């Protein structure tokens, strides 16, 4: 098996390849650098932090495993430093290409008199009130430096020749990292906020009359793990609040610093932060926190950005007829971001005012900061509907937002459940119960992605809208798990973790093995974000050894080593491939499922997940065409192999960008 963490770094390398790709619009390439950096931050906050804690826990108890884990962390650091070199080389190339487009990134040493005057005034009006230098020389205890923030470390000499050391946090939560300078020659000049502060450092520290000023950017990453004890005298809500406060002071697991920083300054920082050279120290360039580059400005240069994609109207949806009634007549397959997420909002809004709707039930993992979904649910409750929401408080990095949403929903007398002890609720389910002609009908939406209108414009996800009782009635039973967990839960159609999902997938794989044994062709096509579960890998390997042809699209982590009868590819393009789809057999006898679960142990065994079968022949045909289209992609697809080479997949067929092609087909 391929190590999970090294496979993840290989995935992030594929993101970096997008920044290198000259067919990607220039400003979008800069934004891909931001995505790469943001991904890496989260990787250290979660995966590396977990490894560091594991090493500490194992010492003296299982020294062999502690040693192996230490070696993995060393391999991670080595690979990250290699990729860091590629990252900065790519940044320099993009900067050079921007200059060819008359877009110049200046630093504080390259300014003319007009620009100097501008950033002086800009600093006084926009920046000064947002910063407070911490004078390290004046305090006994080294200050707490926040995770996700970037700091300017300043060293200077006072007039009396004593050393002066200070740190200033860049206020990027309040103002843009990118400041556009005035220009009269048709060029666009940009200066980073870092350099605006650098230029004004003599003024900021003028009380000390500083000389020989040096400044270097540093950034640290802290352990993001939540420590939730088993004190059930407190509510889970209160314990999570306390744990979030602890997270903000988590152990430092990475320090990124300007490689030009003299050793004496680095040693001073390490000593005061109780770090050593054996920690994850990553030397970098003059600028850090490239995650801000996800918001690199368009600068009015639309030709250097992706062309705007207007969401397509669904060909099978009549805009003049209530969507709820249409769902009762036929299944609908929604493909985001190509179809508008407004269909989901409209569904809830219709249900809120439909006198025949009795209840709305929904599971929420992540929602937008200004969520239309939440607003629609509140309005439904105000209209007298019974609204029942299962909200996952432990959705990583969305815990605080979900705590606030749960509070707001409870204030509207909406029934809130926080899931089940020990199980994260990761399923993406919506259930509307509508009475018609004396019969209560269930209408359900099962999605591969979150009910989050912002990410629905960026992530490639699928959702099934259906009133088929085989599916919708079992969606109702999923919600009963939270309300009445003591009742027996059996599912004939849905595959629900942790009840029958693993066993159901094993059975479907076994069916394909039997086909081969009976002289037929066995085929499996899987599209997920991650494949790391050992049991699933062993089962798929068994199928491949039996002659089953397996094709897989794994966007992120893939611990399985491809072999005979197993082909694995990964698509990284404009949109984040996020759908989870499972296809067994061929078009004549296909079994297809979509839903929320990846092939990770946590998804199969310790989360509440749901996969729905596709029964409607038309929907099945649409999904098969979608999967085959993605497999034909020879523009964004990389081959996953044992060496993690990330070679582009190419063939002799006409160019196929599956994301563009799908959009054209759906228009």
User: Residues 167-208: pLDDT tens digits?
Assistant: 999 999 899 999 999 988 889 999 999 999 999 999 999 999
Q: What is the pLDDT of residue 404?
A: 87
Question: Residue 371: is its pLDDT beyond 90?
Answer: yes
Distance CA 260, CA 271 (A): 19
Other Cβ atoms less than 10 A from the Cβ of 408: the count is 15
- The pTM (predicted TM-score) of the whole model is 0.90
In the sheet that 150-157 helps form, which strands lie side by side, from edge to edge? 134-135, 163-169, 150-157, 211-222, 252-258, 281-284
pLDDT for position 32: 97
Distances (CA, A) of 601 to 198, 501, 506: 48, 11, 14
> DSSP H helical segments within 101-176, as ranges?
113-122
Query: Which residues carry out catalysis?
Result: 426
Domains of the chain plus CATH, in order, are 4-304 (3.30.1840.10), 323-483 (3.30.870.10), 495-666 (3.30.870.10)
CA torsion angle for 374, 424, 552, 21 (degrees, to 10)?
A: 60
| Greatest mean pLDDT among 1-5, 92-96, 249-253 | 92-96
- Band of residue 227 on the pLDDT scale cut at 50, 70, 90: very low
How sure is the predictor about 61, in pLDDT bands with cuts at 50, 70 and 90? confident
Q: CA torsion sign, 371 to 172 to 285 to 108?
A: positive
**Which of 143-147, 350-354, 662-666 has the lowest average pLDDT?**
143-147
Averaged pLDDT, 465-485: 93
Instruction: Answer whether residue 539 shows pLDDT above 50.
Output: yes
**DSSP 8-state secondary structure symbol assigned to residue 531:** B
Name the helix (H) or strand (E) containing 304.
none
Average pLDDT of the chain, as a whole number: 91
Question: Do residues 459 and 337 lie in contact, with contact meaning Cβ atoms separated by under 8 Å?
Answer: yes
Alpha-carbon dihedral of residues 345, 348, 354, 359, nearest 10 degrees? 180
- How far is the C-alpha of 470 from the C-alpha of 199, rounded, in Å? 67
Q: Which of 536, 564, 537, 565 is nearest to 549 (CA)?
A: 565
For the chain, how long is the longest CA-to-CA vector?
90
**Predicted local distance difference test score (pLDDT) of residue 630:** 98
Interval 352-376 mean pLDDT:
95
pLDDT tops 90 at residue 491 = yes
Check if the beta carbon of residue 412 is closer than 8 Å to that of residue 360: no
pLDDT at 165: 92
């Amino acid at each position: 098996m391929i190590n999970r963490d090294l496979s993840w770094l290989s995935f992030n390398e594929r993101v970096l390849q997008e920044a290198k790709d000259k067919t990607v619009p220039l400003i979008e390439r800069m934004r891909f650098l931001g995505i790469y950096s943001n991904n890496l931050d989260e990787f250290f906050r979660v995966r590396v932090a977990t490894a560091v804690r594991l090493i500490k826990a194992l010492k003296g108890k299982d020294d062999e495993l502690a040693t192996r884990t230490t070696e993995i962390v060393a391999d991670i650091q080595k690979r990250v430093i290699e990729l860091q070199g590629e990252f900065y080389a790519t940044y320099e190339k993009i900067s050079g290409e921007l200059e060819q487009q008359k877009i110049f990134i200046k630093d504080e040493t390259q300014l003319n008199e007009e620009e100097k005057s501008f950033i002086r005034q800009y600093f006084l009006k926009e920046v000064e009130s947002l910063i407070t230098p911490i004078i390290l020389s004046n305090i006994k205890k080294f200050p707490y430096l926040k995770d996700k923030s970037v700091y300017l470390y300043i060293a200077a000499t006072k007039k009396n020749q004593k050393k002066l050391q200070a740190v200033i946090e860049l206020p990027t939560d309040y103002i843009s990292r990118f400041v556009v300078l005035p220009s009269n020659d048709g060029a666009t000049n940009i200066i980073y906020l870092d350099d605006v502060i650098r230029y004004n450092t003599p003024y900021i520290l003028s009380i000390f009359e500083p000389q020989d000023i040096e400044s270097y950017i540093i950034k640290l990453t802290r352990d993001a793990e939540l420590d939730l004890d088993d004190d059930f005298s407190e509510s889970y809500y209160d314990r999570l609040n306390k744990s979030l406060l602890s997270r903000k002071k988590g152990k430092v697991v990475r320090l990124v610093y300007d490689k030009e920083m003299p050793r004496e300054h680095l040693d001073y920082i390490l000593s005061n932060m109780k770090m050593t050279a054996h920690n994850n120290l990553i030397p970098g360039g003059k600028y850090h926190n490239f995650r801000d580059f996800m918001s690199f400005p368009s600068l009015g240069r639309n030709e250097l950005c992706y062309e705007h994609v207007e969401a397509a109207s669904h060909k099978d949806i009549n805009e003049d007829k209530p969507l709820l009634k249409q769902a009762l007549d036929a299944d609908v397959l929604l493909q985001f971001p190509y179809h508008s997420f407004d269909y989901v909002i409209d569904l809830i809004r219709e249900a809120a005012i439909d006198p025949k709707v009795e209840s709305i039930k929904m599971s929420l993992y992540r929602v937008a900061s200004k969520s239309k979904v939440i607003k629609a649910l509140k309005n439904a409750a105000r209209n007298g509907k019974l609204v029942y929401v299962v909200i996952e408080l432990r959705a990583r990095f969305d815990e605080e937002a979900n705590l606030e949403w749960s509070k707001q929903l409870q204030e509207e007398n909406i029934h809130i459940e926080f899931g089940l002890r020990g199980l994260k609720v990761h399923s993406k389910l919506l259930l509307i119960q509508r009475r018609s002609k004396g019969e209560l009908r269930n209408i359900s939406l099962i999605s591969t992605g979150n009910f989050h209108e912002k990410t629905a414009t960026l992530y490639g996800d699928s959702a099934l809208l259906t009133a088929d009782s085989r599916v919708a009635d079992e969606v109702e039973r999923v919600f009963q798990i939270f309300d009445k967990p003591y009742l027996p839960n059996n599912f004939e159609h849905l595959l629900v973790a942790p009840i029958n999902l693993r066993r159901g997938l094993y059975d479907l794989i076994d069916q394909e093995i039997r086909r081969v044994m009976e002289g037929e062709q066995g085929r499996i096509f899987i599209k997920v974000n991650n494949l790391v579960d050992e049991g699933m890998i062993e089962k798929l390997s068994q199928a491949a050894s039996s002659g089953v042809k397996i094709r897989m699209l794994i966007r992120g982590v893939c611990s399985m080593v491809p072999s005979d009868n197993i082909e694995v590819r990964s698509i990284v393009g404009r949109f984040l491939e996020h759908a989870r789809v499972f296809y067994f057999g061929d078009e004549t006898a296909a079994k297809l499922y979509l839903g929320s679960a990846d092939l990770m142990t946590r998804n199969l065994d310790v989360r509440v997940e749901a996969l729905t079968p596709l029964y409607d022949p038309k929907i099945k045909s649409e999904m098969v065409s979608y999967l085959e289209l993605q497999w034909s992609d020879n523009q964004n697809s990389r081959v996953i192999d044992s060496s993690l080479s990330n070679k582009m997949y190419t063939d002799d067929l006409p160019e196929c960008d599956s994301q563009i092609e799908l959009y054209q087909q759906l228009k």
